[in-house]
Copies of this chain bind each other. A is one copy, B any other.
Amino acid sequence: MTIGIKDVARAAGVSPATVSRVLGNGPVSADLREKVEAAIRATGYRPNLSARRLRSQHTRTIGLVVSDIRNPFFTALSRAVEDAAYKAEMRVILCNTDENPAREAMYLRLMQEERITGLIYAPTRAGSDALEGLSFDFPVVLVDRSGPPSLHDSVVIDNPEASRTLVDHLFAGGRRRIGGLFGNTSSTAVERHRGYVAAMTALGLVPEARFVAPTVEAAAEEAARWLAGPDRPEALIASNGLILLGLYRTARSLGLDVPGDLALAGFDADVWTEIVGPGLTVIEQPVAEIGRTAMALLFERLELPEMAPRKIVLAGRLLVRGSSGTPADLTG
C-alpha cells in the first residue's frame, strides 16, 4: 500500500539495510548514498515511526503531565519543554490531569504504554503521595511540585521564601491584616502556605489562610465571601495566577479600590497582571528556565542513571507593582 523501505531499496538497486543506514546516517559509500537519496526523493518515501520505535526500542518521546495547559504557567512550561525536545529531535506527549487523580493515573499508565524516554511531571497532591509506591521504567523529573525527597530529580522554586518575600513586602507597605488564599490540590500551595504562616508568625502577625480549588471561579467565590465578611483583611495573597485573577475580579466587582481598600499580591507574572488596574504585584517564576532545566536533568539522568537524585531550587523574583502600593490613608 503505502511505500516502504523495500520499495526504496528496489528503486535504488540496494538492500533495505542500506536504505536504513542512509536514513540513520550509518556507514554507506557516497555512491550508494546518493542513489538511495535519489530514490527516496523519487518515491516520496517517509519512514514509519511506529516501526522504527518498535524495532530500535527507543521512542525518543518525552511525556509531559501537568494539571491544565490553560494555566499560563503550564502553557509557558510546555513551550519550553517542547522547544528543548524538538531541538533534541524528540517529540512530547502532553497530558492534562485537571487535578483529577484518576485521570492522572490513567495518563501515567499511558506513558508506560508509549514506552516514553522520560517524564516531566507536575503531580497532584494525590499523585505526589502515590509516588512512593510506584516505579517507572523511565526517569522522572518533577516540576513545580515536589514529591518524596530523593526519589526523583526535581526543579522547583523556593516557595516558602517567595511567600515570605510577599508578606514582608506587604508588611513594609503598612499592612498588618494579611490573608492568604491557597490552592488545595498541589504540594506547591502547601509550601507557599507554610512560608506564609512562618513569615506572618515571625512578624508577630496572625495568619488567616483559606483553601480553594485552584480555579478562577472558586477563588472568586471564596473571595466574595471573605471580603463581604465583617472584618475584611487589608491585604490578600494568592498562591497562583488563577487564584489571583479570581481575587482581583471579585475586588473589582465589589467596587473595592486596589490598593486603597485592599492590597493584592500573588504568584505568576501572567500577562494580565501587568496591564490590569494599578498592575499586580507578583512573584515571577522563571518558567522557561524551569522547563529547560527539567529537560537538562532528564538528559543527564539518561546518561547516568545511577546518579543520586538532584533537586534544583530556582528563585522567584518579586515584581512590585501598584496593587501593593501604600494605602491612601497612610499617604494622605
Chain A interfacial positions (CB closer than 8 Å to B): 2, 46-51, 53-54, 59, 68-70, 72, 75-76, 78-79, 82, 91, 93-94, 96, 109-110, 112-115, 137, 216, 245, 248-249, 252, 271-272, 274-277
Contact = CB atoms under 8 A, between A and B. Distances in A.
A69 B59 contact: no
Contacts of A2: 115, 137
Contact of A78 (B69, B216, B248, B272): B69
Nearest to A112: B46
**8 interchain residue pairs of minimum CB distance:** A272-B272, A50-B53, A50-B54, A46-B112, A49-B113, A50-B50, A51-B54, A46-B113
Q: Give chain A's interface secondary structure class.
A: helix
Given A49-B114, A53-B50, A96 B82 contact: yes
A70 B79 contact: yes
Contacts of A275: 245, 248-249, 252, 272, 276
B249 A49 contact: no
25 contacts: A2-B115, A2-B137, A48-B54, A49-B113, A50-B50, A50-B53, A50-B54, A51-B54, A69-B69, A69-B75, A69-B78, A69-B79, A70-B75, A70-B76, A70-B79, A75-B75, A79-B96, A93-B93, A94-B94, A245-B271, A249-B274, A249-B275, A271-B272, A272-B272, A277-B277
A321 to B, nearest CB: 13
Contacts of A248: 275
A63 to B, nearest CB: 11
A50 B271 contact: no
Interface centre among A51, A110, A275 (most CB of B within 10 A): A275
A2 B164 CA distance: 47
